[in-house]
Chain A
Amino acid sequence: MNLTLQVWRQGKPDKKDGNNFTPGGDGKIVPYEVKNISPDMSFLEMLDELNEDLLRKGEDPVAFDHDCREGICGMCSLYINGQPHGPETGTTACQLHMRSFKDGDTIYIEPWRAKAFPVVKDLVVDRTAFDRIMSAGGYVSVNTGVNVDANEIPIPKSIADEAFNVAACIGCGACVAACKNASAMLFVSAKVSQLALLPQGKTERKERVEKMVAQMDAEGFGACTNTGACSAECPKEIPLSSIARMNREYYGAKVTSKNA
């Protein structure tokens, strides 16, 4: 296959300070031709080919994030033809294969676009906002040590399975990139739901949801208007119902909150 790639190149980083955002300013779409692409290649292997070509010509390769290349680390973050992770549903960019495209196609490749995810270079963005939201409350407060025997906490299979479905979030940020408001509700609700469903997380459920939502707002993510693009584009198919669950958790917390 021969393809035309239209790739976002940006040298100067965007700047973000809380809710304030300044774009780098020098970003633009640059066209590249790639030839003899095998349909068995992954999308990232196709980009490897482009970068090897650029290197041989002495040009700066396209910077992009990737690591495990098996769809689980959440590092890859490409906006392909207007969709996070490209056209296949339930698939990360690294698990997208070139057989999903046709010879002669033009493919647009851009970074995640959100105020809370400033571009570092080319297709690389800064997602540390997610880590800060997790630090705000995405855990059960137990220290390492001798805890009760694991089978002392029986959990019905249906609950365990439901918790697992949301725990499968890989923190890639596709939900934010897909959302017209750049909202992080699906990401935050996945963790809030997992821990609200499980008995281990019940003690802190009110405090947790309040803190995580407060941090989410402080990072400059947008509000949720229930469009559902996040869930539709999520490579792990986190259900939209987890946002409903988080809203319920949040209102429940606010009723009795000291921070109301």
Chain B
Amino acid sequence: MQLDSKIPDGPLAEKWNRHKFDIKLVNPANKRKYDVIVVGTGLAGGAAAASLAELGYNVKAFCFQDSPRRAHSIAAQGGINAAKNYQNDGDSVFRLFYDTVKGGDYRSREANVHRLAEVSVNIIDQCVAQGVPFAREYGGLLDNRSFGGAQVSRTFYARGQTGQQLLLGAYSALSRQVESGKVKMYTRSEMLDLVVVDGKARGIVTRNLITGDIESHSAHAVLLCTGGYGNVFFLSTNAMGSNSSAAWRAHRKGALFANPCYTQIHPTCIPVSGGHQSKLTLMSESLRNDGRVWVPKSKEDAEKVRTGQLKPNNIEEKDRDYYLETKYPAFGNLVPRDVASRNAKMVCDEGRGVNKEGQAVFLDFRDAIQRDGKDVISAKYGNLFQMYEKITAENPYEVPMKIYPAVHYTMGGLWVDYNLMTTIPGCYALGEANFSDHGANRLGASALMQGLADGYFVIPYTVGDYLARMPYDKVPADHPEFKKAEQEVAARIKKFANRVDGTKTVDEFHKDLGKIMWEYCGMARNKEGLEKAKGMIQKLRADFHANVKVVGDGNGLNQTLEKAMRVDDFMELGELMVDDALNRSESCGGHFREESQTEEGEAKRDDENFSYVAAWEYKGENQQAVLHKEELEFENVKLTQRSYK
């Protein structure tokens, strides 16, 4: 298979504009003849569904939650980047592009990233026009703050709830189109298969989670805006329902899956507190603007902190190791996420962790409160401090926060070309569900930017180019391919339903999978561990199929059954992540191979051998996936060893 990224010709800064002119348009009167399915209603899906409906397409939108407003984009806290240069601090489209390519450790496509930086400015205008209440200065103009991996202030925010406000903006645009009749909304509906007719994506099969009905939906194009796969790890900052099934089902139907091993471990999360834990909570990266990260210099002090004999506030300045500030004087506490996470792991591995389990570092606001006053800090981070106190019963105004890295985002995803189309014609992937913009590491405040860029400003153009070449004819939803997919879905449901004789619950299996992934395919990986993990996952999956326990059938609301099918897909995806991590014997971004590090312990890339996108082709159950490569070409950015010193 030859992967064609379809990157337009011409100088970098002109590619997108030229492409918009070159691609085909659908006449306004003909748009109503095309149906588009949008799966997922987060920033990418909500924005895409609303924008396409505004253009005149008939949109069917699907989400598994009870309302489109609940998609997990809502939980994003910190902010959204845009190259507005409102602060006059030297920002530009090219600088945002450059920071993002560098932050991604030179494993993303230049052309995609530049387009992202270009449209970033339109996103802010769009959201303000919708009434999104961004933070403002006293003069009434928009406020900015800085985020990891950048030396300018380009992050727009709405307290610690930026994702919520942006999603509610997209949701309101979507609601307006529901009212106009151009969007038909299907809530509590889960996509369980993609239907391909004559080589083109022509619809999906869903399960109504309330009635259990299996339904076919036909369209001219299918957009998967279904988020990432962080829940492979069981414990992550994703929502409980976040899953990879829609993307994985498309993968099984022929869509290549790119760079699955690129997972982002976010440095500032509340540490795990026990085996009962169901999810991890992120503390926004923006806290690193004012909080200082440290651990005690000596193991002895750390031990005393862990056992409660020594209070962190009583540790003298000379006995504290502000390791990020010392090691990376230029960026200090604002180094990118992968660097911050790995360093936290290192100091904890040295025995200097500060919670009971020895798996936490301090994030301390003492100096910021002394400098700016409690009111200023509270205005910036009040809701985050409150959230922290609720979960941990500790007051971060008085004692330093304890944080530890947790799985947060997945840079890998379905392979897409410049038009966001997967290797299945007519099937697109947007937002976190695709792989395209963040390379091997995503910078803070860039996920919201990408989701909205894809949904508001990219797909409305590129999907038109595809539809303009399509006949208006609809494939009836009782076409044999739909019937076949429905039967397969029904058979799969039957396989997992009513398994009262099973010996282990779905959650128990999921936790086991998560432990394997975290141990061997987490913050640091090596060949031996990965090979071991592959065998363990295969064994676990066989055990899961033989012994999982599910009560009840598929004829109605059955949350255990839903979970079982998602975990089934996570198991296959977990194995592919391990394959990919094994193949990539270099370190880059969030993917740290212990065999490939510099003398100082930083990630060491191997540009000669690994400057490519690894796109995997599904070959059937229990078959080895096949690797295809898309070579990455860098014409505008010089590849250097990433340094934040």
Which of A79-87, A119-127, A252-260 makes up part of the contact surface? Answer: A119-127
Return chain B residues, CB-CB under 8 Å to A38.
274, 276
Determine the interface band of chain A, counting residues with CB < 8 A from chain B: 35 or more
Return chain A residues, CB-CB under 8 Å to B507.
48, 52
A41 and B140 contact, Cβ closer than 8 Å, known pairs A61-B560, A146-B122: no
Return chain B residues, CB-CB under 8 Å to A73.
65, 70, 72, 74-75, 239
Name the interface residues of A22-47: CB closer than 8 Å to any CB of B: 38, 40-42, 44-45
Name the interface residues of A185-199: CB closer than 8 Å to any CB of B: 194-195, 198
Q: Tell me, yes or no, whether B549 is within 8 Å of chain A by CB.
A: yes
B136–A160 touching, CB < 8 Å:
yes
In the assembled complex, the CB of A26 is this many whole angstroms from the nearest CB of chain B, namely 14
Total B residues in contact with A, Cβ cutoff 8 Å: 81
Against A, the Cβ 8 Å flags (1 = close, 0 = not) of B148-162 are: 000000000011010
CA–CA, A213 to B537, complex, Å? 54
A52 and B505 contact, Cβ closer than 8 Å, known pairs A139-B176, A144-B54, A171-B67: yes
Which of B5-13, B17-25, B167-175, B577-585 makes up part of the contact surface? Answer: B167-175
CA–CA, A144 to B51, complex, Å? 6
Q: Tell me, yes or no, whether B393 is within 8 Å of chain A by CB.
A: yes
Q: Tell me, yes or no, whether A200 is within 8 Å of chain B by CB.
A: yes
A127 and B66 contact, Cβ closer than 8 Å, known pairs A56-B505, A146-B125, A194-B133: yes
Name the interface residues of B345-394: CB closer than 8 Å to any CB of A: 386-387, 390-391, 393
Return chain B residues, CB-CB under 8 Å to A60.
551-552
B391–A61 touching, CB < 8 Å:
no
Residue of B nearest to A200 (CB): B131
Against A, the Cβ 8 Å flags (1 = close, 0 = not) of B83-103 are: 010100000000000000000
Which of B277-285, B335-343, B403-411 makes up part of the contact surface? Answer: B277-285
Interface of A is mostly: loop
Q: Tell me, yes or no, whether B124 is within 8 Å of chain A by CB.
A: yes
A45–B172 touching, CB < 8 Å:
no
Q: Which one of A88, A140, A155 contacts B130 once the chains associate, using CB atoms below 8 Å?
A: A140
Name the interface residues of B387-426: CB closer than 8 Å to any CB of A: 387, 390-391, 393
CA–CA, A147 to B50, complex, Å? 16
Return chain B residues, CB-CB under 8 Å to A121.
556-557
CA–CA, A41 to B556, complex, Å? 30
B456–A55 touching, CB < 8 Å:
no
CA–CA, A153 to B84, complex, Å? 15
Q: Tell me, yes or no, whether B624 is within 8 Å of chain A by CB.
A: no
CA–CA, A68 to B86, complex, Å? 33
A135–B175 touching, CB < 8 Å:
yes
A171–B69 touching, CB < 8 Å:
yes
In the assembled complex, the CB of A177 is this many whole angstroms from the nearest CB of chain B, namely 15
Q: Tell me, yes or no, whether A221 is within 8 Å of chain B by CB.
A: no
Return chain A residues, CB-CB under 8 Å to B386.
90
CA–CA, A37 to B142, complex, Å? 46
Residue of B nearest to A134 (CB): B175
With a 10 A CB-CB cut-off, give which of A55, A65, A74, A200 has the most chain B CB atoms.
Answer: A55
Q: Tell me, yes or no, whether B47 is within 8 Å of chain A by CB.
A: yes
B129–A148 touching, CB < 8 Å:
yes
Q: Could you give 13 example pairs across A and B, Cβ below 8 Å?
A: A40-B273, A48-B276, A59-B551, A67-B240, A72-B75, A75-B70, A99-B393, A140-B172, A142-B173, A144-B460, A151-B141, A155-B140, A167-B158
Supply 13 further A-B pairs (C-beta < 8 A) apart from A54-B551, A66-B240, A144-B47: A41-B274, A58-B549, A59-B551, A61-B560, A68-B72, A71-B387, A72-B161, A74-B70, A121-B557, A142-B126, A144-B51, A154-B139, A201-B131
The 6 closest A-B pairs by CB, nearest first: A154-B140, A139-B172, A147-B129, A150-B128, A144-B51, A135-B179
